[in-house]
Amino acid sequence: MIQKPVLGEITQGTLFTCAIADRYADKRVHGLAITARCDIANNKYPVLNYLPVVTLLDWLHCDGIEILIENSRKNQSGSFDTILKQASIATSVLETIPRQTVVTSFFDDTNATKTRKKLAARAHELADQLDRLEALDLDCVKDRNWFLSAHQKEVSALIKELINNKVSSFYYLPSVTDENENEGYVVLLRESAFLPRRIAKEVANGLDRPVSSNSWLDSHLSFAHDDFAMPVGRIPSPNIEHILQTFSYMFGRIGLEDYSSDFVSDVCARNFLKEETA
């Protein structure tokens, strides 16, 4: 899918080094140019718009793990609520009493019903898991590694959805060069950025790391991981159009209120048989 770039040219679909992404400040980031080809060809672009591209590994330790933790929290909270209902305990009790106290008070009490005693082990397990999730420090590599290791099945499922373009706001790329690196990359569709035209033209020809601090350049490029800002690949048609379609879809959706369930039920229950005529 990735082709060799053309030296001295940045156009729609070009991948280049030294890009910037707000949530990946200390990571290697590539840029995917999305400005219209005709604007670039006719020099009618004040800025070159691009989408940041990060490695799959870095994505999993940032956006990916947040998705996984949120899914896990919802699933385990739902399971815990189910345990409470099975034990005839109102879930609203959690609004005023800590989770662990609820488990100790209702499930471990010597006067607890047989049903509650039977559910006690599962209630403790879910409460401990939820506490562990809430205590996770996402700035700590050890904590992130623990979670990803403990949820390998969920990690694999998320990556599969990502590759099949079923994870909103992100787009999977196998590589950023014409070589199949097999590392995997992720386009951050919601973090669009730009390069001023002057810098974009310098990047097209290959821009060396500045010998001294350059506040204007530093605000648009990062040389923390690469000595040169330059094109390294190009996404051809129709792949680049599919990426842009996915990108634009996020901002072009029109939300409408759903019909009420009663209305839908009434329509579905209608008699659709026509009166027969002789």
What is the model's pLDDT at position 272?
81
Q: Is the dihedral of CA 112, 115, 116, 122 positive or negative?
A: positive
> Taking the CB of residue 3, how many other CB atoms lie within 10 A of it?
15
Percent of the chain residues topping a pLDDT of 70: 99
The domain of 147 spans 1-278
Residue 52: its pLDDT value, please? 98
Query: 259: burial class by Cβ within 10 Å (0-12, 13-18, 19+)?
Result: exposed
- The mean pLDDT of 85-113, rounded to a whole number, is 92
Q: Would strands 185-188 and 170-173 be described as parallel, antiparallel, or unpaired?
A: antiparallel
Coil, strand, or helix at residue 171? strand
* Total domains in the fold of the chain: 1
pTM of the full structure: 0.84
Partnered with residue 207 across adjacent β-strands are: 229
- The tens digit of pLDDT for each residue in 126-157 reads 999 999 999 999 999 999 999 999 999 999 99
Q: How confident is the model at residue 213 (pLDDT cuts 50, 70, 90)?
A: confident
Indicate the SS3 state at residue 72. helix
